[in-house]
Chain A
């Protein structure tokens, strides 16, 4: 398929802080992402990466520009349609995990199915269990987030992001809060998802080591893309 899963043209985002002060966070971003790609977004802090990801994830709306996700024109959707797309087409992984505390892992994972509707209790549990197994958390279903390590919490978040078979997986600094070992684990999960399950991944990171797992590097600076290039796989070493 040649049609890009993401097609963005001249995307702008201006935050109006007051009458006089506004921040031009995205100054015309154009980007196409093909199905099955693994893209790393890099750039200095404040360069507009999160703003961009939030718009990609339908959590925020652009001030202007075109955004087509999997054939759907994102600029003409109402709140309910956006919620549906967040539910069905997008899996979001945050730096801070964003799991519901005091809620067992399995319930966190199955929650998007609640909002999708039409599943029996059993179906939801089974699906959630399968995904937890896929991210290597079999047997930890009933653990609450505070009983899991950062890496494990992030894996629960990944399982949750994948439960509705999304078109893309968006990850905003997924390893930002993790140590080297956990970072390595998460990146292995991402690689597997991308290579074996052909899931499209867009990931923000400012660590070159982490970006090295991706196929393509997009660099932001001051709300614009200044570099977009493939990553040549140099190291294939394993620890």
Chain B
């Protein structure tokens, strides 16, 4: 008896007891969806961390102001007053700008920065140069482009010295950044145009506000203390009470720890749920298969009488239990993906569609079906033809 016939036989007999089949699969459904959510959350957290570190650099912190009170003077003073500060840069971002060169165009992320930004991120050039002091102070329309932008609009041409149009404003390309690559989440670090922050404010955004300042210190031991000192300094400089939350300083380490904590806790909880419900689901399958075997003793006898071998009966019942757990697995995977999506949506983490995790959990569900279905199937296959036929 070949595999398709076995599968057809299994599906037929399962569909004769639809309600029972569905109820039996619930354990597997919950187990598998937990596995999917667990793996997903783990990955998302990992990528979130990676992206944070990628955006800030090491030993870095991000200063943001609730009412956008930050000034150029703040950035300069932080550099001057705190010897432990290695780099500091004003950051002005716009997530989607149109970049045109000749008839080609692309959508990129714009960063208005100071030269320290490149150093903080240890981001070298492949050609050209960074900004000069004069270009910074005169808000010159010059741009350093990422590797993706170069590939997309210049293709084989040399970008340095040419003019690109960023949101209808012409900028002269002075440098090309080396490739950082993509994050697991699919975020392309190289799809950027980097310009002097002053030019970003005046030519692209249209106001003089400063979103954020990135600061990095020499050693990670100085982080906590520096965060406190900068906060204190900014509150004083802006004459704000010290208990106010006007200035928020987030360190990459904090983000990292938080993401790790959440993902670990969730993973442990879900691993617990997953293993318990997969076990319960497996026992449920074993139970229903045992019932099925004794209900169908006569059928087994008939099948043996017309030529079914031991292994035909064994595989018939095994395939039935695997089909049961496999279908439960598929439903569980869909449910898990939905729940995982909702979680990433709520906590604003990247949603990572992983074929591996889907395959792994599907195979796991099938393995549960084989493991818990083997005993009932063996019981069926070990029946003696004449005894099974006589069974009332």
Contacts and interface: CB of A to CB of B under 8 A. Distances in A.
A117 B2 contact: yes
A112 B305 CA distance: 9
Central interface residue in A84, A92, A112, A115, by most chain B CB within 10 Å = A115
B306 A87 contact: yes
B307 interface: yes
Contact of A115 (B12, B299, B307, B389): B307
A60 B309 contact: no
Give the 4 A-B residue pairs with the shortest CB-CB distance, closest first: A87-B307, A115-B307, A83-B309, A60-B386
Interface residues of B, number: 23
A160 B305 CA distance: 11
B5 A114 contact: yes
Contacts of B2: 117
Interface residues of A, number: 26
Contacts of A60: 385-386
A62 to B, nearest CB: 12
B16 A102 contact: yes
Central interface residue in A87, A94, A102, A116, by most chain B CB within 10 Å = A87
A87 B2 CA distance: 15
Interface of A: 54, 57, 59-60, 79-80, 83-84, 86-88, 92, 94, 98-100, 102-103, 111-112, 114-117, 160, 164
Given A80-B309, A102-B16, A103-B12, 4 more contacts: A57-B305, A84-B309, A86-B306, A115-B303
Contacts of B16: 102
B205 to A, nearest CB: 68
Nearest to B9: A114
B23 interface: no
Interface in B306-343: 306-312
Interface string B1-26: 11001000100100010000000000
A98 B302 contact: yes
A164 B306 CA distance: 10
Nearest to A57: B305
Contact of B304 (A86, A88, A100): A86
B303 A86 contact: no
Interface string B264-305: 000000000000000000000000000000000011011111
Contacts of B307: 83-84, 86-88, 112, 115-116, 164
Contacts of A84: 307, 309
B374 to A, nearest CB: 19
Given A115-B1, A117-B2, A83 B302 contact: no
Given A54-B386, A100-B299, A114 B305 contact: no
Contacts of A102: 16
Contacts of A103: 12
A59 B310 contact: no
Contact of B312 (A94, A99, A115): A115
A140 to B, nearest CB: 20
A61 to B, nearest CB: 9
Interface in B144-196: none
A59 B307 CA distance: 10
Contacts of A83: 304, 307-310, 312
Contacts of A57: 305
A170 B307 CA distance: 15
